[in-house]
Amino acid sequence: MLAALRESFQKLWIQFEDHFKFTDHALGLEFLDKRRLVEFIHKSRKLFPDTMVEADGTFEYGDHAIVEWKLASNQILSYGSLQRRVPISLRGATIVHVENGRIRR
C-alpha cells in the first residue's frame, strides 16, 4: 500500500476491495467509498506536498499485516506577510486486513 501510494492514486485505488472500510483513528475519519478515500489522500498531498512516509517495520500474520511508520512533513504558517515553515513529525501504525490479495479493512 505504501509503495502504491508513492507511485500514484490509481495504483492505490486498485489495492482495495470493492466493499472495504478505511478508518483513521487519529483523525476520527472513516471511508467506505474508494473515490472519497482517494480524494482525501489527494487533498492531504496538496496541503502537505513534501510529506514522506517511511515504514520502520512490518509484520504479517495470516491475512493481516501491520506496518509501523513515521511521517515527516512541513506546515507553512502565515503571520501577516511573514511565513514560517514548521516541521511535523509523527509515528503511527497501520493494520491491514487482506482478502484475495486486496485490502478489505
pLDDT tens-place string over residues 79-98: 888 988 899 998 988 888 88
CATH of 2-103, one of 3.90.1150.10, 3.40.50.1460, 3.10.450.50, 1.20.140.10: 3.10.450.50
For residue 62, the Cα-to-chain-centroid distance in whole angstroms is 22
State which amino acid sits at residue 87: P
Q: Which residue has the cell 514548521?
A: 86
pTM of this structure: 0.71
**Cell triple for residue 60?**
504479517
pLDDT tens-place string over residues 62-72: 888 888 889 89
Buried b (16+ CB within 10 A) or exposed e, 68-87: ebeeebeeeeeeeeeeeeee
Best CA proximity match to 54, nearest among 92, 97, 98, 20? 92
Domain boundaries, the chain: 2-103
